[in-house]
Chain A
């Protein structure tokens, strides 16, 4: 009977110790995940900012492309620098598909 009670006490201590260890481990875990979440949050923010920035850059470049591909400019370049002309009917062939 006495041994049984002793064993029970030992088991009780063991559980207590395990719980204590668990609590401490858990506490460290909380600290770690919190730290990690902050790090990831910062990273996420930075990446979002970069994404937005790249989007704006893309929009800007698209605008620039549209300006460069301006039909008047192309026509001018074709006519003046390259000496191109629009074909008249004498040298037009229409192929119907």
Chain B
């Protein structure tokens, strides 16, 4: 059937009429009227003779009608054209653009975290995530086994997953793959499978720096530690650009440069942490915990002069690069906590240095004032203060040297509680250090008017209030820096001037007392650092448990080197050391060796000149306390050479 026939097929009546026409006389032009003819034609058979029309046809009217219809049609077309080109232009342009313009995301990686020497501690590396469009992939089910092999997945499980989500357009197949591995999978050319570039945070030092840095979640947003505290600073802002793409989805042209948003890459952060000291501290902490079968512990190493934190380690730790399948889920938070900043301990005898500072400031006591600690116990109100052994009549220095609780309690009792509280508060106890670490604990120091006399006694020797290891390091750094308290910081160059909390004279007197602690017959001979004078204080405290104490101990040592010109302070807290005798979990036994180990390495790494070369002999036990020079140290004979080469080896 031709097109013409098809057209005419719809008008059988007209055809019948046309066939019938020749037989009749053609009616006068204009006499034909459609209506009756058609009616007749439809009626079938011969049409009755058409009656000639009466009256003239109004040609003008007919023309007007036709013109009007044409004009209407033309108007309709014009209206439509205006609608398309003008009124709805934006809509259609937009629709068109959607079909060939695409917004490309420009990635902005998160900033790198460096240690103080420029070693990377946290790096964002590009990875690829493989995803699939199940609605497309399900139509190519025969290729699923091949895909499963490439992804190292079970073919049946994958197939089931795809079928279940057949009405969805997006499903992750594998996240955070090596970009090369992802490209290999894409090369298989399986329909509906594509990749999406992403970044993954990588921590080259793993569990050693885990607590400080924290971690980021799967979307590269900081969720713990400094990653969280500095998230705004580190995070990059991805940009975008609109491009015109071709048939093969390649970007061929920029669509509109003005619409492009440039990416804002994250800024790099340089920490005050020294990676090597951090490692050293971690190693020593691990060793100490292993040797003494302890449960957990922390070490903080700080720069005395500006409050920069050089190392902060804790045990137990976790690996920020993995999901830690080895750690039971209920313990994971324990492993992730940065105990050095968030957990508090009762400092024990370490607090005596603060009590003595208050005593010296009150003017009632001098370093050589005497205090009678006989017979090694002291009944004060309803409380009995015990010493480890009876050390008899002591000087104030001796109270520190022998760590006498009775001596400290008697000295403390001679002061007003406001004087003591003020000193402890000035040393930063009872409030956060201002380091900026998320979740840092302020410790626990009750206000003075709540102290009873017994509480004042216990606080004198370090019970009844609690502090974080970071606060301890900070407080001792203040003594080491001549009475100037600094705000600890994790950022290189972020240290402050500090504020003076005690007189330099008092700080120096306390420092001299602390030097006597590290001596063969004192409480911490094992803290000695070869070639250097060191100063510090041990502490041992019961761990508070359900309102009482149980037989588990915190072993604490806080000290600094070189004592003649302090540079580094370290606070070491090791908890739960096991032993049958008190000696086996005392600070001087458990924590002091770690101090020595960390400081030896740290001083060497930082090239701190030794101040005690002469007093140390190879393999010896450390400086002889009786040979301690008066402050300042005796000048060397030759101002340029301290110590002589004694071995003949060139």
Contact = CB atoms under 8 A, between A and B. Distances in A.
Interface string A32-60: 00100110011001000000100010011
B120 A91 contact: no
Contact of A89 (B252, B276, B609, B618): B618
B618 A88 contact: yes
Contacts of B640: 95-96
A42 B252 contact: yes
B642 A94 contact: yes
Nearest to A71: B276
B372 interface: no
Contact of B641 (A38, A62, A95): A95
B564 interface: no
B646 A90 contact: yes
B47 interface: no
Q: Is the interface of A mostly helix, strand, loop or mixed?
A: helix
B254 A41 contact: yes
A86 interface: yes
Contacts of B107: 52
Contacts of A89: 530-531, 610, 613-614, 616-618, 643
A81 interface: no
A85 B313 CA distance: 27
Contacts of B124: 59
B604 A45 contact: no
A89 B616 CA distance: 7
Given A56-B126, A59-B125, A89-B610, A96 B252 contact: no
A38 B645 contact: no
Contact of A71 (B202, B279, B649): B279
Contact of B251 (A45, A60, A67, A92): A45
A76 B460 CA distance: 46
Contacts of A52: 107, 126
A59 B112 contact: yes
Contacts of B639: 96
Contacts of B126: 52, 56
A4 interface: no
A61 to B, nearest CB: 11
B19 interface: no
A86 B120 contact: no
Contact of B252 (A38, A69, A91, A92): A38
Contacts of A96: 609, 639-640, 642
B120 A94 contact: no
Contacts of A71: 275-276, 279-280, 605
A63 B204 contact: yes
B109 to A, nearest CB: 8
Nearest to B611: A94
B44 to A, nearest CB: 65
B647 interface: yes
B279 A90 contact: no
B321 interface: no
Interface string A70-94: 0110000000000000101111111
Contacts of A56: 125-126
A1 interface: no
A93 B610 contact: no
A72 B204 contact: no
B111 to A, nearest CB: 11
B334 interface: no
B610 A66 contact: no
Contacts of B616: 88-89
B123 interface: yes
A34 B202 CA distance: 43
Interface in B492-537: 530-531
B647 A90 contact: yes
B38 interface: no
B644 interface: yes
Contacts of B202: 63
B125 A93 contact: no
Given A63-B204, A66-B119, A72-B279, A92 B643 contact: yes
Contacts of B605: 71
Interface in A1-48: 34, 37-38, 41-42, 45
Given A93-B643, A96-B609, A96-B640, A66 B252 contact: no
B204 A67 contact: yes
Nearest to B121: A66
A37 B613 CA distance: 72
Contacts of A45: 251
B645 A93 contact: yes
B119 A41 contact: no
Given A60-B125, A63-B123, A91 B254 contact: no
A37 B610 CA distance: 67
A59 B127 CA distance: 13
Interface in B606-650: 609-610, 613-614, 616-619, 639-647, 649
Given A72-B279, A91-B647, A37 B253 contact: yes
B613 A94 contact: yes
Contact of B253 (A38, A66, A94): A38
Contacts of B647: 90-91
Contact of B120 (A34, A38, A63, A93): A63
- 3 smallest CB-CB distances across A and B, nearest first, come from A88-B618, A94-B642, A71-B276
Interface of A: 34, 37-38, 41-42, 45, 52, 56, 59-60, 62-63, 66-67, 69, 71-72, 86, 88-96
7 contacts: A42-B252, A59-B123, A66-B119, A88-B530, A88-B619, A91-B647, A93-B644
Interface of B: 107, 112, 119-120, 123-126, 202, 204, 243, 250-254, 275-276, 279-280, 283, 530-531, 604-605, 609-610, 613-614, 616-619, 639-647, 649
